[in-house]
Copies of this chain bind each other. A is one copy, B any other.
């Protein structure tokens, strides 16, 4: 993290402007958003290391935004609250914020808190299981980042092709994929009829993840059409 990126979310432009002066001076890269909705769309496009979030905002308030962000990604969130709204603060914390600061605040205090949070995150340097990278189907967990598959917590070893097929079906839960489509999506080349290699792979996957491969629970056959994960 050479130059950490901080997203400032507040509807009061003056506050953002003020913070920008202090934070730029510390070498941070800054992004801004005027409400929760904007913040979420920025997060989709940009790689953000920490968020400063005002509680009171139009459209989507900070608490709601905080919850939504937590659903997707894990990063330090510092909440800003109007003076003496202690209940709000506590609420804010139980939504998953990592810290909060009361308005009016001393900018230096906020800078210190930001440093503290970023330091913690680099110190612990943990891979936080990123919900974004996890697919869950009942007791089956597929981590697309680490290529790990777990069934009831037990590790399942899948080969790269097997993994790719399972990921494809799990990602598009409910939709049926023909053998041809699967082949093209995974192999990225044209499919020749009379090639049963996808079928063989499906069989191998079932052998590994299904209690009874003849009566599959995860990968179902849709007769005459293809396969799906329900």
Name the contact of A93 in the complex, choosing from B112, B127, B147, B223 (C-beta under 8 A). Answer: B112
Name the contact of A175 in the complex, choosing from B90, B145, B159 (C-beta under 8 A). Answer: B145
Cβ contacts under 8 Å, A112 to chain B: 89-90, 93, 100
Interface residues of A in 66-97 (CB under 8 A from B): 86, 89-90, 93-94, 97
Of the four ranges (under 10, 10 to 19, 20 to 34, 35 or more), the interface on chain A belongs to: 35 or more
Cβ contacts under 8 Å, A176 to chain B: 146-148
- A174 interface contact, C-beta 8 A: yes
Closest chain B residue to A157, Cβ basis: B223
- A123 interface contact, C-beta 8 A: yes
- A217 interface contact, C-beta 8 A: no
A115 to B94 CA separation, bound complex (whole angstroms) = 9
Chain A residues in the interface with B (C-beta under 8 A): 86, 89-90, 93-94, 97-100, 106, 108-109, 111-113, 115-116, 120, 123-128, 132, 145-148, 157, 159-160, 171-176, 222-225, 228
